[in-house]
C-alpha cells in the first residue's frame, strides 16, 4: 500500500513538472527534455533551479532522500555551541515554487542504457540527462575499528545532522580537564580546511568553558589548507590545542570505540571525547550508476561535468573529481551552474561555453576571527586547473579588525548562498 502511494506521488510530481512526462523510452530530441537530479544539496538544488530557469518547458525533477536539507558549512559553530542546529536547516518549498519537481525518496540504482533512475520503493524515473549530486559517503572501512555503530561513541559529524548534535552534547558533558581527540584523514575529502576550523572552534569552546581541558588533533598529513594562518592563530589563541602531523605520528591506524582510543604508529591517545573524521567517497548512488572509479570518486569532463564512465550522466559537487577545485559548497554551487549551462547547450546541439569557476573557502578560527582562501579554475588538459595568479589567501600579518571583517564575509557568504539555493 505504502509503495503504491509513493509511486502515485512520484507520478504526480512527474506529471506536474511537464505535460509530456510519459514513462516511455527517452529521447533527447523531444520538445520537453526530462532532466533528473539525484541529491538536493548545494550542487543538486542549484543545478535543478538553473536548469528550470533556462528551460522552463523541461521536466526538472530532484530526487532527494530527506524532507529538508541540513547544511555542513557553519555546522562547526553548532559543535562549539555558537549556533543553533535550526540555522543549518533549509526546506524545499522555494525549490518547488521554482517549478522543480521534488521526489522525497532515496535513489537506489541507475540504468545508464535504459536511462532510468530507480527509487527506494521500486518506482523508476526516466531521464534524457541525469545529474548526480549525492555528496559524500563515509568510508566506515577506512579506519580499522570504526563503523556505523562506533560513530555513536566517536562521532564523525562530517554529515551535518544528528552526528553534529551528538558531538556537541559529548563536548558539553565532558568534565573540565578532559581530553578531546580529533583525527583528520588524508586528501581528498569534503572541505579541506573544515577539520582545522573545527579544531579552532572546539579549542575556543574549551578555552571559554573548560579551561583545564585540551584538544589533540591527529592528522594524516603534514600540510593542510591555510596552514600558516591557522597555526599562527593557534599559537596566539589556543595553547590548549596540539596538532600532530603525519611525520610526528598523526596518522591514525585504528580506533577503539569502547575505550575511545586512537592508535597511531607512534602510540595510543585516549580521549574523553573522540571525533573521527574518516576517509570518504562519492555517495552510494555514484557507485550504483557506475560513474565512480577505483578511488571512490567520479571522473568527469571538466567542461560539461559529464561522467567519463557513463554517457548522459553528469556528476557535480563533492562526488566528482574536480581537479584542483576543493570539495566545498562554494565549488558545488559554481559547478552546478556550469553543468546546467552545458546541459542546455548539449540539448540544443551546441558546444558548451568556456567556463571559469571560482571557489572561496572561509574558516572561522574564533567567532570574530575569519580567514579565507580563494581560487579560480578552468578546464585544461582534461581537468579543472588552477589559474595561476588568480585567487590567494588572507594575509598573514593582518590586524584583528581584518579578521573580524572576514568573519562577517563568511556569514554573508552562507546567508547569500543558502538564500540563492533554498530561498
Ligand X SMILES: Cc1cc2nc3c(=O)[nH]c(=O)nc-3n(C[C@H](O)[C@H](O)[C@H](O)COP(=O)(O)OP(=O)(O)OC[C@H]3O[C@@H](n4cnc5c(N)ncnc54)[C@H](O)[C@@H]3O)c2cc1C
Give the residues lining the site for ligand X (CB under 6 A): 38-44, 63-66, 69, 72-73, 75-76, 106-107, 133-135, 158, 190-191, 194, 198, 283, 285, 317-318, 327-330, 332, 361-362
Task: Report the 10 Å Cβ neighbour count for 258.
Answer: 9
What strands, in cross-sheet order, belong to the sheet with 313-315? 101-104, 59-64, 34-38, 129-132, 313-315
> Which of 343, 301, 284 minimizes the C-alpha distance to 127?
343
State how far the Cα of 422 lies from the Cα of 64, in Å rounded to an integer: 13
Give the nearer residue to ligand X in terms of CB position, either 155 or 352. 155
For ligand X, the nearest residue by Cβ is 41
> What is the spatial distance between Cα 11 and Cα 8, in angstroms, rounded to a whole number?
5
- Residue closer to ligand X (CB basis): 226 or 251: 226
Q: Checking phi first, is residue 349 left (phi over 0); if not, alpha (psi -120 to 50) or beta?
A: left
Minimum CB distance to ligand X smaller for 130 or for 256: 130
Taking alpha carbons only, the member of 346, 286, 281, 337 closest to residue 312 is 346
What are the DSSP E strand ranges found in 1-67?
Answer: 34-38, 59-64
Q: How far is the CB of 404 from ligand X (least distance, A)?
A: 17
Distance of closest approach, residue 174 Cβ to ligand X, in angstroms: 20
Q: How far is the CB of 344 from ligand X (least distance, A)?
A: 20
CB 209 within 8 A of CB 82: no
- Give 161 or 249: the residue with its C-beta nearer to ligand X: 161
**Residue 38 or residue 100: which is nearer to ligand X going by CB?**
38
* 338 exposure class (CB count in 10 Å sphere: 0-12, 13-18, 19+): buried
Residue with grid cell 595553547, as numbered in its chain: 239
CA dist 390 and 257 (Å) reads 44
Give me the least distance between CB of 168 and ligand X, in Å please. 12
C-alpha cell at 409: 564575509
Give min distance, CB of 289 to ligand X, in A: 10
Residue 139 or 249 with smaller CB distance to ligand X: 139
Q: Please report how close the Cβ of residue 70 comes to ligand X at its closest, in angstroms.
A: 8
Cell numbers placing 25 = 523510452
Cis amide linkage into residue 188, ω under 30° from 0: yes
* Least distance (Å) between residue 258 CB and ligand X: 26
Least distance from ligand X to the Cβ atom of residue 359, Å: 7
CB closer to ligand X, 39 vs 296: 39
CB of 120 to ligand X, least distance (A): 8
- Please check whether residue 176 is in contact with residue 215, taking contact to mean a CB–CB distance below 8 angstroms: no
Query: For residues 80 and 133, which CB has a smaller minimum distance to ligand X in the complex?
Result: 133
Residue 57, all three cell numbers = 518547458
Report the DSSP beta bridge partners of residue 373: 361, 393
Q: Which is nearer to ligand X, 256 or 321 (CB)?
A: 321
Amino acid at each position: 500500500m505504502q509503495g503504491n502511494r509513493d509511486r502515485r506521488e512520484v507520478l504526480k510530481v512527474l506529471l506536474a513538472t511537464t505535460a509530456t512526462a510519459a514513462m516511455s523510452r527517452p529521447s533527447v530530441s523531444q520538445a520537453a527534455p526530462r532532466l533528473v537530479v539525484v541529491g538536493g544539496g548545494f550542487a543538486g538544488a542549484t543545478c535543478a533551479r538553473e536548469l528550470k530557469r533556462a528551460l522552463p518547458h523541461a521536466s526538472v525533477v530532484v530526487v532527494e532522500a530527506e524532507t529538508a536539507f541540513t547544511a555542513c558549512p557553519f555546522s562547526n559553530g553548532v559543535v562549539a555551541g555558537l549556533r543553533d542546529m535550526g540555522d543549518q536547516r533549509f526546506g524545499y518549498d522555494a525549490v518547488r515554487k521554482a517549478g522543480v519537481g521534488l521526489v522525497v525518496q532515496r535513489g537506489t540504482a541507475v540504468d545508464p542504457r535504459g536511462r532510468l533512475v530507480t527509487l527506494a520503493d521500486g518506482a523508476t524515473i526516466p531521464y534524457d540527462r541525469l545529474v548526480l549530486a549525492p555528496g559524500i559517503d563515509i568510508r566506515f572501512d577506512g579506519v580499522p575499528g570504526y563503523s556505523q555503530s562506533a560513530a555513536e561513541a566517536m562521532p564523525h559529524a562530517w554529515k551535518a545532522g544528528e552526528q553534529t548534535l551528538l558531538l556537541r552534547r559529548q563536548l558539553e558533558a565532558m568534565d573540565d580537564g578532559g581530553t578531546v581527540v580529533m583525527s583528520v584523514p588524508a586528501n581528498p575529502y569534503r572541505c579541506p580546511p573544515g577539520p582545522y576550523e573545527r579544531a579552532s572552534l572546539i579549542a575556543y569552546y574549551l578555552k571559554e568553558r573548560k579551561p583545564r581541558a585540551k584538544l589533540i588533533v591527529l592528522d594524516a598529513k603534514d600540510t593542510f589548507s591555510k596552514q600558516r594562518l591557522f597555526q599562527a592563530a593557534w599559537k596566539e589563541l589556543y595553547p590548549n590545542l596540539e596538532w600532530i602531523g603525519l611525520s610526528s605520528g598523526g596518522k591514525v591506524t585504528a580506533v577503539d570505540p569502547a575505550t575511545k582510543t586512537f592508535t597511531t604508529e607512534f602510540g595510543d591517545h585516549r580521549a574523553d571525547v573522540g571525533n573521527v573524521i574518516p576517509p570518504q567517497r562519492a555517495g552510494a548512488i555514484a557507485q550504483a550508476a557506475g560513474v565512480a572509479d577505483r578511488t571512490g570518486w567520479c571522473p568527469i569532463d571538466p567542461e560539461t561535468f559529464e561522467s567519463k564512465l557513463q554517457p548522459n550522466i553528469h556528476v557535480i559537487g563533492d562526488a566528482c573529481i574536480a581537479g584542483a577545485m576543493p570539495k566545498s559548497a562554494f565549488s558545488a554551487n559554481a559547478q552546478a551552474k556550469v553543468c546546467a549551462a552545458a546541459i542546455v547547450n548539449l540539448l540544443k546541439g551546441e558546444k558548451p561555453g568556456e567556463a571559469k569557476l571560482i571557489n572561496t573557502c572561509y574558516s572561522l578560527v574564533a567567532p570574530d576571527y575569519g580567514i579565507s582562501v580563494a581560487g579560480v579554475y578552468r578546464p585544461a588538459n582534461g581537468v579543472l586547473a588552477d589559474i595561476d595568479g588568480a585567487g590567494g589567501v588572507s594575509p598573514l600579518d593582518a590586524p584583528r579588525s581584518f579578521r573580524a571583517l572576514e568573519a562577517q564575509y563568511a556569514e554573508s557568504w552562507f546567508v547569500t548562498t543558502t538564500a540563492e539555493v533554498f530561498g
